[in-house]
Structure formats: structure tokens, C-alpha cells
Amino acid sequence: RTSNSAVVLATIKVFLHLTKNLPTIQAQLFERLKNPVLTLLASGSFEIVYCVLKHIDLLVFKCPGIFDNDYKQFYIKFDEPLHIKYLKIDLLAQLNNSQNMVDILEELAVYVAEVDQELSRRSIRAIGKVGFKLPASGQLEQSAIDKLIEFLDLDGYIQAESVQVLVDMIRKNPHRRAGLLPLLPRLLRDVTEPQAVASLIWILGEYGSEIPEAPYLLENVIDTYEEETSNEV
């Protein structure tokens, strides 16, 4: 037993190597690793926390679900540097299940309003990943889509990033498109980021028969085509 982070992480690496061909024992090992790793996460310096988070990312990849019940340990703190916040947001998207999904969605939605643009975008993408992990026919996936639709009322990069994530989710589950289609005329008028515009044009082409204004919307896109500088559009 030691509180030295280097010793703890090195020992974890050794045990993972020794048990890589012993799945039953390795599963027990993962359970034993949780408490020491979470202790390091809560008590270390920012440098140690970053290193521990990278190890946790690997553990979650090798044993999905291992930290699902401890998701609150990965909520970001106001004084943490951005690179740690980024990692925690990416991990939260991997730790969701049907029991904690609502809590994680609400927490990620708070981060969308952060000043840092990359942090906000990562939070929106994480909400999309939460939705992707859940059954396509369930109400929980609809909760993620509803949360993204709320962000469409905001301007700038938040609106644009939300459009891209929403369209990706609709590509996977077309039956979820009803909430987005009525908003298409306003979004085509307001959104300016090339990737988001391209996503909206795809929706227009795919489901134009369900949008009464579709011919007029497409007409506006064609009229500005020569002025468009982005290859994505």
C-alpha cells in the first residue's frame, strides 16, 4: 500500500500485463483497481490527475462500465486546466448508462455555456455520444436529442455544433427527425459555419418532401452558390 502515484500506476500496468490472457482474473483486477485510481484522481496535483485520467480512459476501453457508478467523480471543477476538463468531458460520454444518463446529460448541458469554445463544442459532441450509446427505440435517446434541439435557440458556434451532432444522430435513426425539420428554414437562414450548412443541406435533400418550404429554401441555397467559398458546402 502506497500513496505514491508513480508506484500505483506502474503496479497497475504490471498486473494488466500479467493478466492479459486471464480474462476472469483480469475482471476481478479491474474491480480492485477502482478505489486506488479514484483516490489518486481526487488527491493528486493537476499533472497527476491528467495522467490518472489517461489511465482511466484505457481502463474504460478495456472494461466498459467499470466506472459508470462513479461518474460524479468526473464532473469538472472550475479551477481545473482546460486539458483536464476536456478529458473529463470525453470520459463522461463513455460512462453513461440508463441509470445515470439523465444526470450526465444535465451536467454536460451546463458545460455548453462555458466561455471556452472548444469546451462547449466537446460538451455538445459528448451529448451526442451519450445518445448514440442508447437504444434507438428508447425515450432516453430522445432526451439527448431534445437537449440538442434546445441549443438550436442559441447563436453562433453552439447552434452550428448542435446542428452537426443532431444530423449525425438522424442519419443513424431517421425516425427522430420530427423535432428538427420544422426548424430547418430558420437554421438555414442563421447558421453560417460550412460544416453545419452542409449538414442542413443534406437534411433538406433527404427529407425535402416533408418540408413545405423546401423548394424555396433550396432556391436560396442555389442563389448564393457562386458566393460560397467552402468545399464542404
**What is the helix (H) or strand (E) element at residue 32, kind and residue range?**
helix 23-43
The Cα angle at residue 175 between residues 169 and 181, in degrees rounded to 5? 75
pLDDT at 233: 64
3-state secondary structure of 5: helix
Question: To which residue does cell 458546402 refer?
Answer: 233
pLDDT at 136: 60
pLDDT at 112: 95
pLDDT at 71: 95
Measured between its terminal Cα atoms, the distance across the chain in Å is 58
pLDDT at 7: 86
Q: Under 8 Å CB-to-CB from 173, ≥6 apart: which residues?
A: 136, 141
- Is residue 228 within 8 A of residue 215, CB to CB? The reply is no
pTM of the model: 0.88
**Nearest Cα to Cα of residue 183 among 165, 209, 163:** 163
Show the low-confidence residues of the chain (pLDDT under 50). none
Report d(CA 118, CA 48) in Å as an integer: 23
Report d(CA 121, CA 112) in Å as an integer: 7
pLDDT at 212: 85
pLDDT at 5: 83
Question: To which residue does cell 430547418 refer?
Answer: 184
Report d(CA 178, CA 21) in Å as an integer: 48
Query: From the CB of residue 4, how many other CB atoms can be counted at a distance below 10 Å?
Result: 10
pLDDT at 89: 96
